[in-house]
Amino acid sequence: MNRVFFSNLVIILLIMTGCREGNQSTDAFVTVDVTEKYPKKELILQDFLDVEYIPLETTDEFVCQGEVLAVGKSIIIVKNQINDGNIYIFDRNGKGLRIINHRGRGGEEYLYINGFTLDEDNNEILVDDVGKILVYDLYGKFIRSFQKWWEWGRIYNYDREHWICKVASPNTGNDKVNNQQFTIVFKNNGSIVRDFRINFKQKIETSMRLVRGEAIYGSSVGYFPIIPYNDSWILTEPSSDTIYRLSTNYDLIPFMARIPSIQSMNPEVFLFPSIFTERYYFMETVKKEGDLEKRIGLFPKTHLVYDKQERAIYEYTVHNDDFSTKSLVDMSQKAINKEIAFWQKLEAYQLVEAYERGQLKGKLKEIAMGLEEESNPVIMLAKLKTKSYE
For 251-303, the DSSP string reads -EEEEEEEES-GGG-SS-EEEEEEEE-SSEEEEEEEE---BTTTTBS-S-EEE
Q: What percent of the chain has pLDDT over 70?
A: 89
d(CA 78, CA 98): 11
d(CA 372, CA 368): 8
pLDDT of the residue at 176: 63
Which tens digits make up the pLDDT trace of 55-93? 999 999 999 999 999 999 999 999 999 999 999 999 999
Identify which of 325, 316, 272, 351 has the alpha carbon closest to the alpha carbon of residue 48: 316
Is the per-residue pLDDT at 122 higher than 90?
A: yes
- When the pLDDT of each residue in the chain is averaged and rounded to a whole number, the result is 90
Which tens digits make up the pLDDT trace of 19-45? 444 333 456 789 999 999 999 999 999
Identify which of 279, 368, 282 has the alpha carbon closest to the alpha carbon of residue 323: 368
Return phi, psi of residue 194, to 5°.
-140, 155
**Beta strand 30-33 with 252-259: parallel, antiparallel or unpaired?**
parallel
Domain 3-384 has CATH 2.130.10: yes
* Confidence category of residue 168, pLDDT binned at 50, 70, 90: confident
Is the per-residue pLDDT at 10 higher than 60?
A: no
Is the per-residue pLDDT at 174 higher than 60?
A: no
pLDDT of the residue at 152: 56
**E strand or H helix at 211:** strand 207-212
Return phi, psi of residue 271, to 5°.
-120, 120
Q: What percent of the chain has pLDDT over 90?
A: 80
The pTM assigned to this predicted structure is: 0.89
Angle between helices 362-369 and 348-356 (to 10 degrees): 100
